[in-house]
């Protein structure tokens, strides 16, 4: 079955550490997105990529980094520069004229 | 800038009743897509319904229907015959015709009570 796999589902980080969230898709969709979700807020866009080796900053890119070396993969690194990284992170893919397909999300908690 | 506004943080409805969620958006573009997504307690985002701006007919998916008013930039979702499984956060989303960002509203929490 085609889908989006995010891992890990739960992640704990100590302050000052970088962590990487994985997002893999086998839907053959060109575009991939990372969103952050906080309680009481909608989804806020961190980064998105329309094609391999290209990506754009979203509304809240500071303290995050991404790469897109393969069509199937779009990992998100939460760096120590991100002041408040505790949140729920959603990866999504998009096909032209379609809709967003979401992974199951990753919950990051800073200890 | 394109924005999406959901003015109802939470709504409660009894089983079998109808509830309507409001969504307004702001854009200067003519071609765009509108969506309603559902996020149940599992937190998996699920597409409920979508509407293309060039279509005048309102979209319908089983018990879910929209009232799309392009001139008013309004896109409300009606849930008919509400079921306990409809309890979820509902997000309105918007995307223009070109490649790029989806914009989401802040969400409306719907609680269906027995």
Task: Write out the H or E segment, with its range, that includes residue B33.
Answer: strand B32-39
Taking an 8 Å cut-off on Cβ atoms, the answer to whether A42 and B35 are in contact is: no
Q: What are phi and psi of B84, to 5 degrees?
A: -60, -35
Interchain contact A48–B (C-beta under 8 A): yes
DSSP assigned state of B46: E
How high does pLDDT run on average in chain B?
Answer: 93
**What is the reported pLDDT for B106?**
93
Q: How far apart are CA B76 and CA B20, in angstroms?
A: 7
Structure tokens at B91: 């997000």
Opening angle at CA B100, ends A44 and A99, nearest 5:
80
Q: Which residues of B touch A44 (CB under 8 A)?
A: 104
**What is the reported pLDDT for A98?**
79
Biggest CA pair distance of chain A? 41
Residue % of chain A over a pLDDT of 90: 77
Nearest CA in chain B to A46: B101
CA distances from B59 to A108, B19, B54, B96 (A): 36, 17, 12, 18
Query: For an interface test with A, which of B2, B10, B96, B104 has the most A Cβ atoms less than 10 Å from its Cβ?
Result: B104
Q: Which of A38-47, B2-11, B92-101 has the highest mean pLDDT?
A: B2-11
Evaluate if residue A41 carries a pLDDT over 90.
Answer: no
DSSP assigned state of A59: T
Evaluate if residue A71 carries a pLDDT over 90.
Answer: yes
From A40's Cα to the closest Cα of chain B, the distance in A is 7
Query: For an interface test with B, which of A37, A101, A104 has the most B Cβ atoms less than 10 Å from its Cβ?
Result: A37
How high does pLDDT run on average in chain A?
Answer: 93
Residue B44: burial class (beta carbons within 10 Å; 0-12, 13-18, 19+): middle
DSSP assigned state of B16: T
Over residues B36-77, the pLDDT tens digits come to 999 999 999 999 999 999 888 999 999 999 999 999 999 999
**pLDDT level of residue A111 (50, 70, 90 thresholds):** confident
Nearest CA in chain B to A104: B44
Nearest to A89 by CA among B106, B83, B43, B54: B43
């Amino acid at each position: 079955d085609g889908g989006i796999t995010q891992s890990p589902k739960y992640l704990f980080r100590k302050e000052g550490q970088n962590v990487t969230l994985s997002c893999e898709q086998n839907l053959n969709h060109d575009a991939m997105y990372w969103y952050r979700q906080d309680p009481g807020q909608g989804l806020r866009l961190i980064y998105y990529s329309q094609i391999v080796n290209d990506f754009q900053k979203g509304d809240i890119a500071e303290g995050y980094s991404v790469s897109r070396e393969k069509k199937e993969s779009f990992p998100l690194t939460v760096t120590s520069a991100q002041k408040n990284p505790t949140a729920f992170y959603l990866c999504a893919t998009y096909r032209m004229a379609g809709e967003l397909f979401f992974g199951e999300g990753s919950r990051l908690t800073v200890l | 800038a394109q924005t999406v506004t959901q003015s109802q943080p939470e709504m409660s409805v009894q089983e079998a009743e109808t509830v309507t969620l409001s969504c307004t958006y702001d854009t200067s573009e003519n071609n765009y897509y509108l969506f309603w997504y559902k996020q149940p307690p599992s937190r998996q985002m699920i597409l409920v319904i979508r509407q293309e701006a060039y279509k005048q007919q309102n979209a319908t998916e089983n018990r879910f229907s929209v009232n799309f008013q392009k001139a008013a930039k309004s896109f409300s979702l009606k849930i008919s015959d509400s079921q306990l499984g409809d309890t979820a956060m509902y997000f309105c989303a918007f995307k223009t015709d070109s490649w790029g960002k989806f914009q989401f509203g802040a969400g409306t929490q719907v609680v269906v009570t027995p």
